[in-house]
Each structure stands twice: as C-alpha cells, then as structure tokens.
Structure 1
Amino acid sequence: MKTTDYLQLDSKTTEKVAHELQTLLADLQVYYANLRGFHWNVKGQEFFNLHAKYEEMYDDAADKVDQVAERILMLGGVPEHNYSEYLKKSAIKETGVVSDGKEIANLLLSYLKELIGQERKILETASEGNDEGTANLMSDMILEQEKMVWMLTAYLS
C-alpha cells in the first residue's frame, strides 16, 4: 500500500514532480547552510537586526526543507539527505565566510532567484498533472519569497 494509490495523480507526472522537488530540496539545504553562516558571521552597525533576521530566515528555510521532503515522500519518492548529493544538484553554491550585510543581501537575492525559478518550474509541472497539493505548496513558497525579494531590494536601495 502506497500513498500515491490514493492521491489520484498521474504516475509519470508524479515522478517528474518528485524529481524536481529533489532539486529544490538540495537548493533549500544549501541555502539554509549559507544562512546559518551569515547569521554567525555578520558584522557591522546593523549586526543586531541582521543577526536576528538571518535566524528568522534559516528557521523558515528549515520549515520549507521539511515540507518539501515530506511532499517527496507523499509522491512516492525518497528525499535525499546527504550534503554530497545536495552539492551536486543545487544551483545554489556554498559560500565562505561573508560578514558584510550588503554583500549578504546580494547573495540572498541571487539565491531567491534560483529558488523561485525552481519553484515556478515545479508549479507548472504540478499544475499540468492536477497536483494541487504540490502546486499550492509552491505558490505559498513563491509568495513568501517574492516578499523577501522586495524587502532585500528595499534594503539595498
């Protein structure tokens, strides 16, 4: 007995969506690790605000990681859990120590661009397969991340 036996979704589309979710999972895990580094290493006059903001962001990223991994399981896949695999698949690359708030904001914008692009791809594939669960998950993530893009661009202005 499998979850997918009850979801009434096309198996080929479900496999494709689960595969694309694996890439998103890898992206989110590297994004999360980078956020932790930014939280630990940020310096300067805005330290207190940025330190707290990066913690909020990595907590949110951890929640998204869990949601994506659970969705992969619901669709019959097995979520990757090795960083070596994440690093192979992720469009987001590890960073070294970065402590400047503006440099971090620019990096975050590039990461969010990658995440939103991958989420839009998944949204399209899921929508084509009438996979409302995955489509809604991606829509919610995109909406939150678009707001973060707006906030980061305002910060850099």
Structure 2
Amino acid sequence: MSTNLIGLDKQGAGALAEQLNGLLANYQVLYMNVRGFHWNVQGANFFELHAKFEEIYDQLLIKVDELAERILTLGQQPLHGFSDYLSRAQLDEAKNVHDGHVAVENILGAYQLLLGQQRKILAAAAELGDEGTVSLLSDYISQQEKESWMLAAYQGRRA
C-alpha cells in the first residue's frame, strides 16, 4: 500500500478528495447565492437578513478555503474554476431573489443537501482513518444543524 505525505492510502485519499471537490463546488455555489441574497434582499426584514446573510457568507468563505486546503493536504488538486463548480455542484444558482423568506428557504434546502453529502464523506473519511477530514466535517455538520434549526424557527416552523 502506497501512502501520501500524511500517512493515508494514496488511492483512498484521492477518492476522498474527489468527494471533497464535489462538496467544494456546492459550497462555492451556495456562497455566491448567499452573496446575492445579501445584496438583493428587500422588505420589512431587510436589516436583520442583510446582516444574517453576511454572517453566513463569511462562514461559507472560510469553509471554502478550509476544504480547498484539505484537498491539498490529501495530496490532490482542488477545483478552482467557476465553470468546474457549476458542472459539479448539485446546488443551482439562485438569481434575483429579493424575498427574504425565499432566500432563507433556499439556504435551508442547501444545508439539507450539504448535511447529507458531508455525512457520507465523513463516513468515507472515518473508514480511511482520516481524522483531519472527520474533524472538519463534524464541525461543519454541527454548525449547520444548529443554523438549520434557527433558520427554520425564523420561518415559523420546526426544524
């Protein structure tokens, strides 16, 4: 068995990095969607949602960087072209969204997709013995579960 710089099976790390690149693509699309929500939201909840969307996209930007660096740590190349993100992402672009509740529903739907994807990758990372990726994704899952509950409560429904 051939191992990479951090002692993981090279083939397994390559397969895991491929999954992480798919996650990275979804994060990049969501990041741009939330930036658009921040710029374009209108209505009675403008001030609170404008600030909340900024908080969310700031966190997404950190995660984008962490994911890309994790892919590099695994000895692979992160995607870095927006055309690559769009072709790989499961999330769709959300354009011209002005209604805050529509934007929040979009984020909730994206979190549902990300949570499922991250749980699958976490399981693969655990099987490979990749504690770094497990820890990273565990933190993301915990944060997004809480954020989902809070956004659902904002919408007036249970998580």
Same fold? TM cut 0.5 = yes
2:43 corresponds to which residue?
Answer: 44
2:4 corresponds to which residue?
Answer: 4
Superposition RMSD on alpha carbons, in Å? 1.1
Paired letter, 2:137: M
Gaps of at least 5 residues in structure 1 are: none
Per-residue deviation, 1:107: 0.7
Per-residue deviation, 1:17: 0.8
* Partner Cα separation in structure 2 for residue 139 and residue 60 of structure 1: 15
1:68 corresponds to which residue?
Answer: 67
Q: CA offsets, 1:7-48, max 9 Å, x none?
A: 111222211110000001000000000000000000111100
2:121 corresponds to which residue?
Answer: 122
After TM superposition, the score normalised by the length of structure 2 is 0.94
Q: CA offsets, 1:30-74, max 9 Å, x none?
A: 000000000000011110010000001000000000000000000
Gaps of at least 5 residues in structure 2 are: none
Alignment of 1:136-155 (within 5 A): 136-155=135-154
CA contact (8 A) 1:4 1:74 kept: no
**How many residue pairs get matched?**
154
Secondary structure, in 3 states, of the residue corresponding to 1:45? coil
Paired letter, 2:34: L
Among the aligned pairs, what percent are the same residue?
A: 49
Per-residue deviation, 1:4: 2.6
List, as ranges, runs of 4+ consecutive aligned residues in structure 1 with deviation greater than 6 Å: none
Q: CA offsets, 1:104-155, max 9 Å, x none?
A: 1111111001111111111000000110000000000000000110011101
After TM superposition, the score normalised by the length of structure 1 is 0.95
Secondary structure, in 3 states, of the residue corresponding to 1:4? coil
